[in-house]
Structure 1
């Protein structure tokens, strides 16, 4: 394990690897236990300003563009100067101006700016960004009904995450008084899912909903995982067969390595079980016991122990 950790840390410290900037933060806890002398270098790498947490390279903005986007330039001035900029930079300025108008409550003008200056897929994406900004503004103001109406208009691939965000916000405002309302929002989100996930994207949607239910309505989270367990077992067994046949790095002597994370054929986050264990430990242990792969059972139980 130490040898593998050394290789990973060496890779992430290589500044020629752009991926390093995103993953350096995740490597710090490992280095603290196995290679303390690398901790400071990893922290320095994680704080490098040229890369954001989304691992996307930031464009090298000229001073004039940076000034337009720093929040000090008025929206009217941004709109006056934007047409003189390159197309991609121009769109960024228009999107920024529209977002500022949404924050100020002027949604109508924000949407008009987007409609006037974007087209085709860029228009759809920009409109969705504006709607997201407005939803967050409404949620922050406690206008949950208005936020829900707007989320209902989202494209299908974004509606679920919007409803989950709304349910979380409602629940966080008052976990006693708002529990029923938050659960109803999650139930609405669930109604848009098939009875059984048929694609990896649908499986991820199920797991996202389960994570939300873990806090708001644990019994429903237990029920959903229990219903998914047979399919999760199918996928994990299939993943083991394929990994073994291909000789991939995360498979050895007939078992998937615990050090590779929690994929096991599906991206099932161990934090779900940690949350459920706080509600009903025995039921959580029994639920983990329904998984057919021994390494899955061991891995999730190990994470439970580490959380106490």
Structure 2
């Protein structure tokens, strides 16, 4: 029973059981909590002590990154001046397994004094925290994964999952999009994947374009000068009719290609992107179809082009 792998699996099984119980326990109180958090004009003040405090910090960060302004307030520091960080327009999300954390007392009293609404996450429906809250989310009865010491394990996992559930439910209710999310995550691989085509594309001055009656010689010249491995075929009004890649040229070499026009060898109705298409989607399509460049269009007219190297160079994966 002292095998580390078996112990690890037992811990995970125990915590999964807690999450399953949490899923079943969700009901009207969760919906009420979403309504309370969504109605706030100020910020979501997330607080908790000890392990609950660590979870609270992460929940606050998740809310903020998904467009719901939130901060963590340490309950002990609140008693020494940080209560001033909490305004009448805020809402409090307080975490405590027992619901009797002494350090939360001043925050609860402050909230009552100024009619600041409270959502509680606790395991005891009869606790001081639950009774002080406008909405109490009660964690189901579940054994801690560390049975010998009863250290917060399963309970904090449930708190963390419940915080994620609140944040995701709220953002979907607000219609928060991946594009909105990118605004809060400009850095790293996530930020890169959430950039838009307009952030990466080369503009109209770099577009490799030919008319449908262009000769193959002109097409090859445009591909070579453009440096993107392709050329867009546009009609007299500037509408994109097709695309020719250097691979298309090679495939037509044995078919009297010198006597053909661009319209005869082009791929019609090529896949394109809009200016707001996410970079991650662009790279995913390129990988799937094994192409290296994609025209960006507006009203079916090319306004830019994105090469696979443009995605990779900013960290899109």
Normalising by structure 1, we get a TM-score of 0.24
Q: Relative to total residues, which structure has the larger helix share, 1 or 2?
A: 1
Structure with larger RCO (C-alpha < 8 A, sep 6+) = 2
Q: Relative to total residues, which structure has the larger strand share, 1 or 2?
A: 2
Larger Rg belongs to: 2
